[in-house]
C-alpha cells in the first residue's frame, strides 16, 4: 500500500467524509465503498479507471488543494490542461497521481473523481 500523506486542514478531506459510508453499485447489488463506486461510474461512462491509491490521494486533496467544484479547462478533452494553469500544489498532486496507478491521470479524470466523490458523499449511507 502506498503511504499517502495526510492533508493538514481544518475541514475534513473528502476522503475522510466518505469513510464509513456505502452505496449500491446497482439497485439490488451488494453495497460498496467510494473507490468501487467511482470506478464503476468510470466503467459505465467509458472513462477508464483509477487505482484506489489515486482516488484516495485525490480525495484527500479536496478541499485543501482542489476545491469541490474544481473544473478542468474547457476543451482539455482527454489530455491534461496546460500545467501552467495548475497551482503549484495541484501540480504536485498531479505528479504523485501519475506514479500511483497504471493509467494516466488527466485533468478530466481528476474532475470526474472529485464530482463522483461529492456525489457519493451526498447519496451514500453510514455503514
Q: Identify whether the C-beta of residue 104 lies closer than 8 Å to the C-beta of residue 95.
A: no
d(C-alpha 13, C-alpha 118), whole Å: 11
Question: What pLDDT does 76 receive?
Answer: 53
Q: Identify whether the C-beta of residue 12 lies closer than 8 Å to the C-beta of residue 61.
A: no
Question: What pLDDT does 83 receive?
Answer: 66
Q: Identify whether the C-beta of residue 65 lies closer than 8 Å to the C-beta of residue 94.
A: no
For 24, list phi and psi in degrees, rounded to 5.
Answer: -85, 135
4 part of a folded domain: no
Kindly list the averaged pLDDT for each block of 10 residues, start to end, along the chain of length 127: 48 96 81 93 87 96 96 65 81 94 88 96 94
User: Looking at the whole model, is its pTM more than 0.75?
Assistant: yes
Separation of CA 95 from chain center: 14
Question: What pLDDT does 111 receive?
Answer: 93
9 part of a folded domain: no
3 part of a folded domain: no
Domain that holds residue 107: 14-126
31 part of a folded domain: yes
Pick from 72, 49, 52, 59: nearest CA to 119: 59
55 part of a folded domain: yes
1 part of a folded domain: no
Question: What pLDDT does 9 receive?
Answer: 45
Buried residues in 88-105 as b, exposed as e (16+ CB within 10 A): eebeebbebbeebbeeeb
Pick from 22, 115, 123, 9: nearest CA to 63: 9
Q: How many domains does the chain have?
A: 1
122 part of a folded domain: yes
49: left (phi over 0), alpha (psi -120 to 50) or beta: beta
Amino acid at each position: 500500500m502506498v503511504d499517502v500523506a495526510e492533508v493538514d486542514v481544518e475541514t475534513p478531506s473528502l476522503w475522510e467524509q466518505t469513510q464509513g459510508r456505502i452505496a449500491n453499485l446497482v439497485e439490488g447489488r451488494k453495497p460498496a465503498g467510494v473507490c468501487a463506486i467511482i470506478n464503476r461510474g468510470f466503467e459505465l461512462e467509458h472513462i477508464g479507471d483509477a487505482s484506489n491509491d489515486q482516488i484516495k490521494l485525490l480525495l484527500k486533496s479536496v478541499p485543501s488543494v482542489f476545491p469541490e467544484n474544481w473544473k478542468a479547462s474547457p476543451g482539455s478533452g482527454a489530455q491534461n490542461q496546460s500545467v501552467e494553469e495548475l497551482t503549484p500544489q495541484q501540480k504536485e498532486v498531479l505528479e504523485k497521481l501519475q506514479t500511483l496507478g497504471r493509467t494516466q491521470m488527466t485533468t478530466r479524470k481528476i474532475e470526474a473523481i472529485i464530482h463522483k466523490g461529492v456525489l457519493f458523499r451526498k447519496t451514500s449511507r453510514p455503514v
